[in-house]
């Protein structure tokens, strides 16, 4: 296991609780990336241009690095290329910031071709603005002469741009395939529901419990990176539930864009299940909900949201009621469940059903014939049959979406 030192600079007069929460999140992220944390360091000051921390603090860090010999220094705060270079030079140890750490986690978990491309694209987007500076620093000692350096810098940046363009093209093709798959699912009569929420809220556990699946779920940040879709029967209607990647505070915009195809699953759903870990402290839940609202605000259209207060087996009823009442302004259509025990699933399904696109109910007479029976079988596939009577004709009372009803009527008319 790799060893790491965590470093965080706090702004003067910033909220202590918030700082502690951010540090805790960094610890969990480092854990998720497979690092063993051997030391931590914080400093309260305004950022230094050269080292981000104060010079003395960096020397202290350098001493700790000499004693403990970690593999990496991980900063919570975003660092500039110059700062990374200076700190690495002083401490003689590889230095990364939180964004790079998130990228590392994504890179280690990416298994499919698509997710590997997404990770590569995110990494390149991170690297592009730094490319010139990196080359400039690396070639500092070998200033050649006339026409020497500029060529290096430009060609490296251009190379990155070319690679990005190639990956974007390839991702676009994959995305088109996915869009047509989604459209096909919609046209087949499936309604789409997506699980969304802060990372480690228990989305995958809820998904597994709901659809009886074995998606990997762990008490760890970013366990899920690829969306998984399974069907679920809700009061006779088939819906497709998708488990998605979790949100995180300060996720840089370029990264959200790079993972857009994953997040599209959320933004194009009929119902979004916003999962909340209700066992956490009130303020923490509020902050996480805020991040979710902020992330969804950019792209979410008119989609119904169900807030799922998960992990209720870990708190008392009074605590839960208090949290729900205080957070009502951030939690639309709230439902309480325990993915572990299965409590509240019926209510959740009822809530989902009430928000799904409406189906119409109709009574139809179909002649008794081979074609008539084929039509009945098709209606059973596409809709929800309430009653059926076989006399001289077949009287069927069923519920389905508009398209199916219109087609059934025209087919029935054609048969009689």
Q: What is the number of other CB atoms lying within 10 angstroms of the CB of residue 223?
A: 20
State which residue, 84 or 276, has the beta carbon closest to another protein: 276
Kindly state the smallest distance separating residue 294's Cβ from another protein, in Å: 9
Who contacts 66 (Cβ-Cβ below 8 Å, separation ≥6)?
A: 92
**Positive/negative CA dihedral, 87, 91, 94, 97:** negative
CA distance 288 to 218: 19
Q: What is the CA radius of gyration of the chain?
A: 27
State which residue, 68 or 328, has the beta carbon closest to another protein: 328
Angle ∠(346,326,285) on CA atoms, nearest 5: 75
CA distance 327 to 17: 19
The SS3 of residue 252 is: coil
Kindly state the smallest distance separating residue 9's Cβ from another protein, in Å: 19
Which residue, chain included where needed, has tokens 């008539």? Answer: 372
State which residue, 65 or 248, has the beta carbon closest to another protein: 248
Which residue, chain included where needed, has tokens 């059926």? Answer: 388
List contacts with another protein (CB under 8 A).
Answer: 290, 293, 296-297, 300, 304-305, 307, 328-332
State which residue, 56 or 332, has the beta carbon closest to another protein: 332
Kindly state the smallest distance separating residue 308's Cβ from another protein, in Å: 13
CA distance 295 to 339: 24
**Positive/negative CA dihedral, 284, 285, 286, 291:** positive
Query: Cα 35 to chain center, whole Å?
Result: 22
Kindly state the smallest distance separating residue 8's Cβ from another protein, in Å: 21
Q: What is the number of other CB atoms lying within 10 angstroms of the CB of residue 279?
A: 17
Kindly state the smallest distance separating residue 355's Cβ from another protein, in Å: 11
CA distance 66 to 292: 41
State which residue, 293 or 407, has the beta carbon closest to another protein: 293
Who contacts 23 (Cβ-Cβ below 8 Å, separation ≥6)?
A: 6, 8, 40, 42, 76
State which residue, 88 or 353, has the beta carbon closest to another protein: 353
Decide: 167 and 127 in contact? Cβ < 8 Å. no
Decide: 206 and 308 in contact? Cβ < 8 Å. yes
Q: Minimal CA–CA distance to 412: which of 371, 361, 377? A: 371
State which residue, 79 or 331, has the beta carbon closest to another protein: 331
Kindly state the smallest distance separating residue 202's Cβ from another protein, in Å: 20
State which residue, 230 or 333, has the beta carbon closest to another protein: 333
Tell me which DSSP letter residue 141 carries.
Answer: G
Kindly state the smallest distance separating residue 206's Cβ from another protein, in Å: 20
| Count of CA atoms in the C-beta half-sphere (13 A) of 121 | 23
Who contacts 207 (Cβ-Cβ below 8 Å, separation ≥6)?
A: 195, 213, 215, 217, 228, 230, 241, 243
State which residue, 244 or 307, has the beta carbon closest to another protein: 307
State which residue, 185 or 293, has the beta carbon closest to another protein: 293
Q: What is the DSSP annotation of 95-116? A: EEEHHHHHHHHHHHH--SHHHH
State which residue, 144 or 332, has the beta carbon closest to another protein: 332
Kindly state the smallest distance separating residue 331's Cβ from another protein, in Å: 6
Kindly state the smallest distance separating residue 56's Cβ from another protein, in Å: 30
């Amino acid at each position: 296991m790799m060893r790491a030192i965590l470093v965080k600079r706090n702004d003067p007069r910033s909220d202590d609780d918030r700082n502690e929460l951010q540090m805790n999140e960094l610890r969990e992220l480092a854990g998720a990336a497979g690092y063993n944390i051997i030391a931590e360091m914080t400093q309260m000051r305004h950022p230094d241009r050269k080292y981000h921390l104060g010079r003395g603090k960096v020397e202290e860090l350098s001493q700790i690095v000499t004693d403990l010999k970690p593999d990496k220094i991980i900063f919570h705060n975003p660092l500039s290329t110059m700062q990374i270079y200076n700190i690495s030079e002083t401490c003689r140890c590889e230095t990364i910031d939180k964004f790079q750490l998130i990228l590392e986690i994504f890179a280690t978990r990416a298994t499919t071709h698509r997710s590997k491309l997404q990770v590569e694209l995110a990494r390149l987007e991170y690297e592009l603005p730094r490319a010139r500076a990196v080359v400039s620093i690396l070639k500092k000692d070998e200033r050649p002469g006339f026409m020497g350096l500029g060529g290096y810098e430009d060609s490296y940046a251009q190379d990155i741009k070319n690679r990005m363009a190639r990956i974007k093209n390839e991702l676009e093709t994959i995305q088109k395939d996915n869009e047509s798959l989604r459209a096909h699912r919609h046209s087949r009569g499936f309604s789409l529901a997506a699980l969304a929420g802060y990372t480690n809220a228990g989305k995958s556990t809820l998904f597994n419990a709901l659809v009886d699946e074995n998606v990997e779920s762990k008490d760890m940040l970013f366990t899920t990176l690829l969306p998984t879709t399974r069907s679920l029967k809700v009061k006779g209607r088939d819906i497709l539930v998708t488990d998605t990647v979790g949100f995180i505070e300060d996720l840089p915009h370029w990264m959200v864009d790079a993972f857009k195809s994953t997040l599209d699953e959320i933004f194009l759903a009929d119902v979004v299940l916003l999962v909340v870990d209700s066992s956490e402290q009130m303020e923490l839940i509020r902050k996480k909900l805020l991040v979710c609202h902020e992330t969804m605000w950019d792209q979410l259209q008119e989609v119904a949201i169900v807030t799922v207060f998960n992990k209720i087996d870990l708190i008392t009823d009074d605590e839960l009621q208090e949290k729900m009442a205080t957070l009502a302004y951030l939690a639309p259509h709230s439902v309480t469940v325990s993915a572990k025990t299965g409590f509240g699933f019926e209510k959740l399904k009822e809530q989902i059903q009430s928000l799904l696109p409406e189906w119409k109910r109709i009574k139809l007479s179909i002649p008794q014939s081979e074609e008539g029976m084929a039509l009945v079988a098709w209606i059973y596939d596409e809709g929800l049959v309430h009653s059926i009577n076989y006399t001289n004709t077949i009287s069927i009372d069923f519920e389905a979406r508009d398209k199916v009803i219109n087609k059934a009527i025209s087919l029935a008319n054609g048969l009689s």
